Amino acid sequence: MTAKKITGKSKLAKAVETNDDTREHLDLVTPNKKAKLKAYRLYDDDISRLKKITATMNRESHRHISETAAIRALLVLGSNATGERLLNALRKTI
């Protein structure tokens, strides 16, 4: 039996090799926002309030909600509140 002549390209290499024009090009959206690390100091009673709020949110939700997500939700609620209401809440914490 005679040996096959080696041409340098296998059938697999030819099958995998494709033109760039035939590949599908997806325009993926790049995220515009990047999280910035910011640390805050909270008193013990503030931490207990945050844990209570997070526990309440977790009871109502079908997935786990972190304390960071709870803080973000509270920031959205605070942005919709009036200045007077926020000052009253601040007075209660002092």
Q: Higher model confidence: residue 8 or residue 48?
A: 48
The verdict on pTM exceeding 0.75 is no
Q: Residues 32-72: pLDDT tens digits?
A: 778 888 899 999 999 999 999 999 999 999 999 999 999 99
| HEC readout, the chain | CCCCCCCCCCHHHHHHCCCCCCCCCCCCCCCCCCCCCCCCCCCHHHHHHHHHHHHHHHHHCCCCCCHHHHHHHHHHHHHHCCHHHHHHHHHHHC
Q: What is the pLDDT of residue 22?
A: 60
